[in-house]
Structures are given as structure tokens and as C-alpha cells.
Chains A and B, each alone.
Chain A
Amino acid sequence: MTSTISSTGQRHGTLGTSASRPDGVTKVQGGFAFSSDMWADNMLWGATLRSPHPYARVLAIDVSGAYAIDGVATVVTAADVPGKLTYGLIVQDQPVFAAIGDTVRYSGEPIAAVAADHPETCQRALAAIKVTYEVLTPVTDPEDCIAGTAAMIHPDGNIFRHQRIISGDTSIEGVIQVEGEYEIGMQDQAFLGLESALAIPDSGGQGLEMYVATQWLHEDRKQIADCLNLPEEKIRLVLGGVGGAFGAREDISLQVHTALLAMKAGRPVRISYGREESFYGHVHRHPAKIWMKHHADANGKIVKIESRMVFDGGAYCSTSPAVLINGITHTQGPYKCENAIVDGWAVRTNNPPCGAMRGFGVVQACFAHESQMEKLATAVGVSPVEIRLLNAMETGDRMITGQIMDSVAPVAQCIRETDAIPMPVPLENSADLRTIPGGTGLTAQPSNIRRGVGWGVSIKNLMYSEGFDDFSTARCRISNGVVTIKFATSEVGQGFTMLAQQIARTVLGVDEVILDTIDTQVGSAGSTSASRQTWMSGGAVQAACHAALAQLFDHVATKFEMTRSEIEIDGTDIMDRLTQRRVSVSDAISEIDIDCTEEYHHPPTEDLDKNGQGNCHVAYAFVAHRAVVDVDPELGLIKVVQIATAQDVGRVLNPLAAMGQIEGGIAQGLGLAVMEEIIVKDGKVRNPSFTDYLLPTFLDAPAVEMVFIEEHEPKSPLGAKGIGEPPCISVTPAIANAIRQAVGRELPRVPIRPYDICL
């Protein structure tokens, strides 16, 4: 095997190169097996019956009508759950199915599931199940929960978490004060690959194998095992091909239902949601209301921040307490400030359950603080860039939680590099209609369009927080000259499988790296979320490869008479630095068996105390966005022309993959800024479809001009920071600020709708 050396001197496929995706060829040819492509002999289809009411007592469930339909194999309800009746990531407060006598707490809550020979048979069976409800008045206003005036809708109460931050000198008053009340709508992750799972019971009925599209195999297995009353080792979870995740697959959706049906039917069962059911079946981004007040000195230096944040968690807990903490601990954004009073609430209502979505609480906080920075710049009389540079956070700063910023913090550099990116050409009267607001609808003349420029800068914590040890595990085997890497890290599209191969090629000096099946036959990798897998699972793969390399060096030193302490990998050779003797890695590994499993743990973090003080986060990343937006003020239509961005990435491990994360995140942030919202009225979702929930299309996507800020992060095992979340965080307020500048309105809410601009 010969290695290809790139023009930069890097061997193809190693760290720093745009290595090929191991799943790429099958994905472009249509042969990649997504979870919804899974199939087994004798397989049944499953489907879920859901409550149409956001709050109602279940008086009776009659499933006899379903059994009367030809082709129906089995029906399960709460009465069929052999183990724990509830599940949940932090608190197990969500029923597998609503039981008779209990209440349903959101529109779409599962009541029963059926398995049958055809998806259409399933739909008829669901229609034949009779449920008698006593409809109750839903609690939909979070403020009623905080005031204590709402009906208690769950035994655990209506408050998921209340946390304050009291920091520094809270008596300080700024000579300049700006404030605002901001609102963020409920966004959907809207991954394209719908929820799907295939469960295959063991022949003895004592266990099962499941193929699931998920973000965290081991956590799913734990919750499934609890509900099925099975030991975890009786359940093997295998990652089914995942068509995007963005947070929506961190919680259980159809896993327990599919397993219950398969165990009861004694046959393989697959449940695959349709798009409408997907809107009911997974958690969404929390809608939030945030009041914020900045105090600054006459020059614009921030001296104190006051804020109150209210996150509507919907019916069940999911990750609401952690989302809240992310929101309030990022109140200050990427700016220096030690004095703060923040009051944060995450509450339970009869609205759809909310949990993880890319950005995880920081999106909401950032929209508020970046809207405030624009007001502060105006109040002080400086530019948006100047106000941000004046306050830019640096390594060593004390934050409002008391934590000292000990990550690389190139905030000013992100801003300056973004500012240096050339602006797009001005809109011309001869512009292609496809590039102006309203497009070929010919609703606007270019001469009537106003162009605005807006800024957003953000900070994002990486990894899990508040004392949680979200370790990752990887195994490196060398046998018969073949290197095999195994991990349980969910590949959701981000390209971790590609990165794992890059790490192994780089550390071990090999070109061929086999990836073992991603399943629960190795230790947990933690969740593919919180921008954590490059750092955590990358760290684990690197550690496993280094452990294997150490054994390989022992072997080589003996066999080839090299000096153990002087051996290193040089390209695809092992070299003795003293003697310059070389042996190729492929020769060295041809007759050795090595098997190393390693865990990677990040440094421990702490809980917050009652005043919100504590070293609660592991590390941070930063990004700046500048948006150029054309606005038709008469109809309120917009076109995002360009996003310029400079992102603190630590180190670029794969340039193409990094670009893809940044451009993709920007599109999602654009969606939240101007089009994406799950509209909920009286507890009911009004737009559960891609016809009515609008996503950015090719025509909506702006030109993206990006700069990577590469200052290696010493704490990170690869020198790299997670890059998944930052792109979608501050682009939303950047776009909002551009529209505000164009039309001169406050526009305190996203998504900004046409009538917010023109009426």
C-alpha cells in the first residue's frame, strides 16, 4: 500500500486533511442503511396512538376493535409495561403510555401502540381503539406556573428548576442602561431521517436486539431495560443509520414502544414515524422569554447585567434543568462582566415537551444579549463592532458564575477577522430576481429594498456540565496486520467515523483503519451532543491508539533491536531517532495481537450553589457573525445576502467537515431568525408538517464567508474545540440586528415574521 502525500505534506486521510467519509459512497449511491431502511424476516410494522388533547384524564381504553382487524398482531398499553412505567433523561417523569386513571399532559402523548402486517393496517387499528377522555383545561402560560396559580399538572409539580445567579457587586448602577424583553419561538430540529427503530426479540424471549437511530446508545439501553424490567446485558443496541439529530434524538421517543411490541408479539417490529408524528414524538427547542438590562459606564464598558429568563419546558422534564443552567450561565455572552443578578425558571406546562436542540439554552440567552449589545452601541454612540471589542472576554476573566475563563478565548480576534471579510456587492437594479426578497414573485423593486448589517457574537460551553462525568470509551485492536477501532459514538452525520479513522491513521501510521459496528458491545461514548464528541470520543480513540502504540513499540524495540525510548512514528514507518533505523508499520503489525480499551474523562466540574456560583462548565468556544440582509419593508420579506463568520475552532481536523458544520449551523440559525417556529395554540401544535413548518431552502441559504481561528486548545486532547453548536447561535441575532437596522424597529421576537416588519 502506498500513501498519498498532499501538497501540505500531510498524508491523505490523517488529521488536518479533508479525509473521505467511510460512509460516503453508500450514501451517494442510496445503499446506506438508515434505521428506516432496516428490515427483518417476519417483521411487523408498529404505530402509536396519541392523545389529541393537551390535558385530559384517561377514563377508559378499549383495544378490542384493533384486535378485530385482520393483520393486527398485538396491542400494548400501560398495562403491558413490565418494569418502570416512566422514562426520562434526568428525571423519569414521562409515562411510557398514559394509564387509565392518569392524565395525558400534552397533545400527542402516547396511549397505546399496535403491531400489524402493513403500515395501513396499523393506522386502521389505531382508529379502532376507543379512548374515553375527561378533557381538562390545559396550563399553557409559564408565568402561571411561577406564580403558583396554575393547576398542578404532575405529581412532581410545575417547576423543573429555579436558579439564581448573584455575582459581585449587585448595587452598581451604570450611567448608561439599556433593557429589553425578548422572546424566542419553539424551533424544531427537523432532521430529515425520521425516527425509526427495529426490535428483534431473542428466540427465548429473554432479551432483544435493537437497531435505533439515536444520539446515545447506552442511555437508551438503560431506559429501555428499566421499562422492560430486563438486565441491560440482555439488550444489544446497534446504531441504525442516523439521518441527522440536532438534539432531538437524545431523549427516548419510540425505543420503549418498539421493544414492548416486539417482546409481546415475539416477532421483529419496526416503528418508523411519519413527519407529522415526528413533530409530536420528539422534544423541541424551548421557547423562552428573557428580560435583560445592561448597565454600562459612559464609554460603554459593561458593569452589571440583570436578567430574568423563563423557559417553557412543556409537559415533561427531559433536559430542561440543564437547558436552564446553560441559558443563565451564558447571560453575559462573550463579554467581560462580574456583576450580575439573574433569575432563571424552567417550568412544566401542557405545551409540547422541550429538551435538547443544537445550542441548548445558549441560543435563547444569545438572542437577548446580542439584541442588548446593539442597543448599548446605539446608547453609547459607538459602532456594533466597537462596543463588542471594548467588552470582549479574554482568558483569565472571572465570569458571573465565579468560574475563571481558562479556555483559549479569542473573542476580539473572531470579531476583527469577521469585520475584515469583504462586504457583498451592493444590490443592483439589474439583480437576478431570485436574489431579492420575494424572489420571482416580483413583489419588490430593487430600488425599494433596504439593506441592513447586523452583528452577533457568542460563547458556548462544550461538554456536559455541573459535575456530570460524560466520559467516552474506545477500543483499538491490532490483529493480523489489521487495525480496528470500536466505539459507541453515534455517527449522526457530523463525520465522527471519518475523524476516528483520521486519528488512528495519524497516531499509528497506517492507511487502512477498519471501524467496528457502533453498538453497546463496548463502553459508553456519552451523547453526540453538546459539541462534545470530537473532544471526548476523539480523546478516547486517541488514547486507545496511543495505548496500542505503546505495546507495538515494545514489540518493535525487541524484535528489530531499536531503542525503546527513541522510537517514534514517522509517516507510515516506525523510526529509531538514534540510529535512523526504520521498519514499516505494516510490517511491524503483521504478526502481533494488541487489544486496548481506554476511557477519556474531562476534568470534573461542580454544581452551582444557591447564588449560581461554581465551576460548572468544562470549556468554551467562541464565534462572531456578521449578517447582511435585504429587506422589503412594504411586505416584510427578507433575503439574507451574506453571513461572514470567524470561529474559534482550536484546530481544524478536517477542513471540509468543518466548513459543512459551519454552513449547516448558519442555515439553522437563519431558520430560527426568520422562518422556523412550531406554532402552539391552547397546547396544540398547529403546523406539524413541512408544508407549514418552513425550513431554509437552497434559495434561502446565504453566501457564507468564513475564517477559522486556529489557536490550539491546550486542554483538548486533539487541540480542537467542538464546532457543531457555535455556528447556529449568534447568527440568529446577527440577522435580527440587520433587519432592525434596515427598518428601524425593535423586533424583540424571533422568528421575525413578515407582519412584524411591515404592519
Chain B
Amino acid sequence: MSINIPVSGASQSNEMYSLRVNGQVHEVKDAWIGESLLYVLRERLGLPGAKGACEQGECGSCTVIVDKQAVCSCLVMAADAVETEILTVEGLGPDGALTDVQSAFLSEGGVQCGFCTPGFIVAVHHLLENNPNPSDDEIRESLSGNICRCTGYGRILEAVRTVADQRRNPS
């Protein structure tokens, strides 16, 4: 990419594109073409739930779902995500209600500083949709792309077990 592409909003004529996020179409105007999906979600679309903590796909804080795949939104170019269905943590619960995964993170103590939490919540939803009955080792492996520095993962493991159990045995 040429270093001469202007990034300043006022002085350019970048093409507008649109992203479909949480079922709604958002137009992205005056954006620098090099912006990541994470940046556009957070800084342009008012969806700060996805977090940036490593910017190289190592920590999972920025996890969102793109066409049913869990991805690190820091590694996806926003302009490359047109014509996809994007789901972020803000779109999981209907009308502000907590999902079962969100409730279990609270009841089982899976939240401390909370910076990794939105990425984890999205990743756990993705895991349980694809594997409703995971073993502890499967939980650990499938969430090993999400770093948590506060909890040591013990209460998060408990939260995932709780949701899997609730879904198997709805009360």
C-alpha cells in the first residue's frame, strides 16, 4: 500500500461501503481503506464491545462472528467484510436482555476486569452452537485463543459448564 494515501477525513474521496452488523446495515463513510473491522466497529459504528488488546490475533479480545465463523476482528479489513453477516457482543441478547452465557459469566464469577469478557462471550456462544456438549478439554482447547489475565480461567470454565448443562437440561 502506498504511504501517500491520505488518511485525514476531510481531504479524501474514499468510496463508501456498508457493513451488516447485528442485523442492521451501517454505512461507512470517509474511512481510510486500511482500517480494520475492529477499528470501524469501535470508532465509526459506535460498537465498542469488541476490544483491542494485541492487534495481532493472539488474545481474542476482539472476537466477533463473521458468517458464522469466530474471527479476530483486528485481523479482518473492514472493507473486506462487506456482504457478510457480522455479529458482535452487542447483538447477542435480544433488546438488552442477558443471554444464558452472559448470565453464567456473572453467576459463576467469570468476570473481573472485563476486558477479555466480550470476546469470551462471543467465543463461548460460538463454541456451544457448534458443540453443545463439550468436554472440559474441548472447552479449554476451543477457548485457548482467548487470553484472560485476571481469572486464571477457572470461573470461566465453570460458566461454560453451567450453560452447557442448562441447555441440556432446561428447567
Residues of A in contact with B (beta carbons under 8 Å apart): 18, 20-21, 23-25, 27-34, 36-37, 70-71, 117-121, 124, 190-194, 241-244, 246, 274-275, 432, 434-435, 440, 492-495, 656-657, 659-660, 662-668, 689-691, 695-699, 701, 704
> Is B34 an interface residue when CB atoms closer than 8 A count as contact?
yes
A71-B7, A274-B55, A663-B155 given; 20 more Cβ-contact pairs under 8 Å: A20-B106, A21-B106, A25-B106, A29-B118, A30-B50, A30-B118, A34-B51, A34-B114, A36-B51, A37-B48, A70-B6, A70-B8, A243-B114, A244-B115, A493-B115, A664-B152, A666-B152, A690-B56, A698-B148, A699-B140
For A71, list chain B residues within 8 Å (CB): 7-8, 11
The docked-state distance in angstroms from the alpha carbon of A233 to that of B106 is 38
B54, CB-defined interface residue at 8 Å: yes
- With contacts A25-B98, A29-B98 known, is A121 near B7, CB below 8 A? yes
B residues sitting closer than 8 Å to A (CB atoms) are: 3, 6-9, 11, 32, 34, 39, 42, 47-56, 58-59, 61, 88-90, 93, 96, 98, 102, 105-106, 108-109, 111-118, 121, 135, 137, 139-141, 143-157
Given A70-B8, A664-B152, CB of A698 within 8 Å of CB of B56: no
CA–CA, A577 to B35, complex, Å?
68
Of all chain A residues, the one with the shortest Cβ separation from B147 is A695
Question: Whose C-beta in chain B lies nearest to the C-beta of A242?
Answer: B113
Quick one: which of B49, B108, B112, B153 contacts A30, CB cutoff 8 A? B49
B58 CB to nearest chain A CB (Å):
4
Task: Report yes or no: A698 in contact with B114, Cβ–Cβ below 8 A.
Answer: no
A666 to B151 Cα, complex, angstroms: 9
**Ordered nearest first, which 4 A-B pairs have the shortest CB separation?**
A30-B49, A493-B113, A27-B114, A243-B115
Q: Select from chain A the residue with minimum beta-carbon distance to B92.
A: A29
| A690 and B59 within 8 A (CB) | yes
Give which listed residue, A244, A667, A699, contacts B113 with CB less than 8 A: A244
Determine the chain B residues whose CB is within 8 A of the CB of A243 once the complex forms: 51, 53, 113-115
For B6, give the chain A residue with the smallest CB separation. A70
CA distance A695 to B144 in the complex (A): 11
In the assembled complex, the Cα of A37 lies from the Cα of B135 at a distance in Å of: 36
Contact yes or no, B9 A192, CB < 8 A: no
CB distance from B124 to the nearest CB of A (A): 11
Q: How far is the CB of A278 from chain B (nearest CB, A)?
A: 9
Is there contact, CB below 8 Å, between A194 and B8? Answer: no
State whether A699 touches B144 (Cβ < 8 A).
yes
Q: Which residues of the other chain, B, contact A246 by a CB distance below 8 angstroms?
A: 149
Give Cα distance in the complex from A156 to B93, angstroms. 57
Residues of chain A lying within 8 A (CB to CB) of residue B98: 25, 28-29
With the chains together, A429 CA to B58 CA distance in Å?
A: 32
Contact B112 A691 (CB under 8 A): no
**Nearest CB of B to A42, in Å:** 13
Pick the contact of B150 from A25, A32, A660 — CB < 8 Å? A660
Interchain CB contact under 8 A, A493 and B114: yes
Across-interface contacts of A194 in B (CB, < 8 A): 52-53
Query: With the chains together, A494 CA to B7 CA distance in Å?
Result: 39
Q: Which residues of A contact B48 (CB under 8 A)?
A: 30-31, 33, 37
- Please state if A29 and B106 are interface contacts (CB–CB under 8 Å): no
- Distance in angstroms between the alpha carbons of A742 and B140 in the assembled complex: 25
Contact B54 A193 (CB under 8 A): no
| Given known A24-B111, A27-B117, contact A36–B52 (CB-CB < 8 A) | yes
B150 and A28 within 8 A (CB): no
Chain B: CB-nearest residue to A274: B55
Q: Would A190 and B114 be within 8 Å (CB), given that A118-B9, A275-B55 are in contact?
A: no
Q: Is the CB of B155 within 8 A of A34?
A: no
Q: What are 18 A-B residue pairs whose CB atoms fall within 8 Å in the complex?
A: A27-B111, A28-B121, A30-B50, A32-B114, A34-B115, A71-B8, A120-B7, A124-B3, A243-B115, A275-B53, A493-B113, A659-B155, A664-B151, A689-B58, A690-B147, A698-B141, A698-B156, A701-B140
Contact of A435 among B47, B58, B89, B137 (CB under 8 A): B137
Q: Which of B61, B105, B114, B148 has the most CB of A within 10 A?
A: B114
Instruction: Note all chain B residues with C-beta closer than 8 A to A25.
Output: 98, 102, 106
State A241–B61 Cα separation when bound (angstroms): 16
Question: With A27-B117, A29-B49, A275-B53 given, is the CB distance from A664 to B146 under 8 Å?
Answer: no
> What is the CB-to-nearest-CB distance from A107 to chain B, in angstroms, rounded to a whole number?
20
**Pick the contact of A192 from B115, B143, B154 — CB < 8 Å?**
B115
B9, B34, B157: the one contacting A117 at CB < 8 Å is B9
Judge whether B54 and A690 touch: CB under 8 Å.
Answer: yes
Min distance, Cβ B142 to any Cβ of chain A, angstroms? 9
Query: Hey, which chain A residues are within 8 Å of B47, CB to CB?
Result: 30
A683 and B20 CA atoms in complex are apart in Å by 47
Residue of A nearest to B7 (CB): A120
Contact across chains for A494 and B109 when beta carbons are under 8 A apart: no
B111 to chain A: which residues have CB within 8 Å? 21, 24, 27-28
Q: How far is the CA of A695 from the CA of B116 in the complex (A)?
A: 14
By the criterion CB–CB under 8 Å, are B150 and A493 in contact?
yes
Q: Contacting A664 at CB < 8 Å: which of B51, B89, B137, B150?
A: B150
CA distance A404 to B156 in the complex (A): 41
Bound complex: CA of A364 vs CA of B152, how far in Å? Answer: 21
How distant is B164 from chain A, measured CB to nearest CB, in Å? 15
Q: With A192-B115, A697-B147 as known contacts, state yes or no: A275 contacts B152, CB within 8 Å.
A: no
* Complexed CA–CA distance, A492 and B61 (Å): 17
Most buried by B among A124, A662, A664, A667: A664
**Interchain CA distance A494-B156 in the complex, whole Å:** 16
| Contact (A663, B51) CB under 8 Å given A28-B98, A34-B115, A494-B112 | no
CA distance A664 to B156 in the complex (A): 11
Residue of B nearest to A495 (CB): B112
* Contacting residues, chain B, for A121 (C-beta < 8 A): 7-8
Q: How far, in whole Å, are A18 and B153 apart by their CA atoms in the complex?
A: 18
